[in-house]
């Protein structure tokens, strides 16, 4: 067994896990956006909170997709969660480019990027057990 096989999954498995996590993140984000649109159209929420709903959708989507990626990508949790968040942002950006006419990376795209990366990073930290594992040093005799 080679060192790369002993440390974790291969590059193909890690990429597949990040893509699957990104797709789940996109699905969760779209579901949260749908629920937010229903709440706004029924008068439960005001129309002024659309930026907050978008940020919430990106964070929740990145969190769910990051957890799935971390469950499949056992070698490194934080990069796995961040990769799922980045894939989710790229998918959201692609959907926005396909549905719109103009290409502008403004404040809304920055909110989406920050939300997706924060959700994915949070998933990596939650699955990894914190920032780092501390092992007690052996006592000297």
Write out the chain's pLDDT in tens, 141 residues: 455 454 555 778 888 888 999 999 999 999 999 999 999 999 888 988 988 999 999 999 999 999 999 888 777 788 888 999 999 999 988 888 888 767 677 888 898 899 999 999 999 888 876 555 556 667 776
Give residue 135's pLDDT: 60
Q: With beta carbons less than 8 A apart as the criterion, state whether 20 and 64 touch.
A: no
CA 119 to chain centroid, in Å, comes to 5
DSSP state of 75: S
């Amino acid at each position: 067994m080679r060192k790369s096989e002993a440390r974790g999954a291969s590059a193909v498995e890690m990429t597949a896990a990040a893509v699957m996590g990104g797709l789940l993140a996109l699905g969760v984000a779209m579901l949260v956006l749908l629920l937010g649109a229903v709440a706004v159209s029924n008068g439960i929420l005001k129309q002024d909170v659309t930026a907050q709903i978008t940020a919430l959708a990106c964070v929740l989507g990145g969190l769910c997709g990051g957890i799935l990626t971390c469950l499949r990508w056992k070698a490194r949790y934080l990069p796995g969660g961040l990769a799922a968040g980045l894939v989710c942002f790229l998918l959201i950006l692609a959907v926005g480019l396909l549905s719109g006419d103009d290409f502008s990376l403004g404040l809304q795209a920055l909110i989406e990027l920050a939300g997706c990366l924060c959700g994915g990073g949070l998933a990596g930290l939650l699955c990894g057990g914190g920032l780092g594992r501390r092992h007690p040093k052996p006592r000297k005799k």
